[in-house]
Amino acid sequence: MRLPVRITGVGGYLPPRTLTNEELAKQVDTSDEWIFSRTGIRERHIAGPDETSSTMGIEAARVALASAEVDPADVDVIIVGTSTPDGMFPASATRIQHGIGATNAGAFDVNAACAGFLHALSAGAQYVASGSAQRVLVIGSETMSRILDWTDRGTCVLFGDGAGAVLLEYAGPDELGGIDSLLLRSDGSQASSLYADGPCTPALAGARAEAHIVMDGQAVFRSAVTGLANAAADAIAEAGLSVDDIALCIPHQANVRIIQAVAKSLSLPMDRVFVNLDRTGNTSSASIPLALAEACATGRLQPGDRILFAAFGGGLSWGAAVMQWSGVRAAHASGVPVARVTGAPTTA
């Protein structure tokens, strides 16, 4: 299977405000050593008071469109993977559509928790491959800090905020690019191991109680390692490739131990696995496009390279994809890498 779809633009945004492990240790019973040894995280970015999933998505989308040299009015569809939308409705995607001036685009959200970007990518690829859309903007954007219990050290140390975006376009038979395989999986029987209630949950309906992430860390760890390893291996096999053909694996940035365990299961050296969660934390559906933007900006990808994406999240939902990197049209804009992923960092 080859979907004739290529990524022609990438972009990312991380809020300027950072929150280090040392600062967290002043709020909850933890330490930098405890957090880093168990997760690989040193710091995470936190959305400002006026920032939302849509405002961050707008910033990432603008960068992606600039790198593709595409006018927002030429975008046909916008799909946003998010589990932290600005509100129940309208979709954050519609706010982004208006914010970037994509006047001719339809827009909708996809919620598959941390696997949201892969699900959005799958939907976007079908639009392009079928010919029903020429350009689809796929975004992962999350304000996870808004649904954290900041007294629970098992979850509050893990997550951060941010957004990443890619632009999808058709890849002709003689062009680089194409999605070689794309697998999505889910298991609703394990929903209670990782979830966040909301205003429509019966127990919270009409109440002022806040909804927070609830996680059984050990259960999620076990399921994530098994699910990601199996999905990645199946995606590589379905693509007709071997692990040796994968130039770079860009996994969901949840926990370095999960990433290392999956890489070991695949016999994939860690020098071919992209990791940036030490500086971002788990940004849920934003993590893969953010990592892709950074990999592009730092020269980790060359045209023709095969990339392996793999993600796992609440649902439980997971999946993997293999695609060929075609490169973006504009490597730089005004001397600044267009895949810039941070603002001017300041400390929280």
Options 45, 249, 282, 296, the catalytic residue: 282
How far is residue 237's CA from residue 255's CA, in Å, rounded to a whole number?
25
How far is residue 290's CA from residue 288's CA, in Å, rounded to a whole number?
5
Residue 282 annotated as catalytic:
yes
Residue among 217, 226, 341 at smallest CA distance from 274: 341
Angle at 58 between CA 281 and CA 129, to 5 degrees: 95
Instruction: Give the alpha-carbon dihedral of 227, 229, 230, 232, to 10 degrees.
Output: 110
H or E segment and range at residue 107: strand 106-110
Q: Which residues pair with 306 in a beta bridge?
A: 246, 324
Residue 252 annotated as catalytic:
yes
Q: How many CA atoms lie within 13 A of 79 on its CB side?
A: 24
Options 45, 249, 252, 276, the catalytic residue: 252
Options 21, 111, 114, 156, the catalytic residue: 114
Residue 114 annotated as catalytic:
yes
C-alpha dist (Å) from residue 346 to 45, 158, 198, 339: 10, 20, 32, 20
Residue 175: what are its φ and ψ, rounded to 5°? Answer: -110, 150
Yes or no: say if 92 and 57 are a contact pair by the CB < 8 Å rule: yes
Instruction: Give the alpha-carbon dihedral of 312, 135, 291, 230, to 10 degrees.
Output: 30
Yes or no: say if 68 and 8 are a contact pair by the CB < 8 Å rule: yes
Residue among 84, 182, 92 at smallest CA distance from 128: 182
Token output for 32: 């930098």
3-class state of residue 9 by DSSP: strand
Cis peptide before 49 (omega within 30 of 0): no
Which residues are the active-site residues? 114, 252, 282
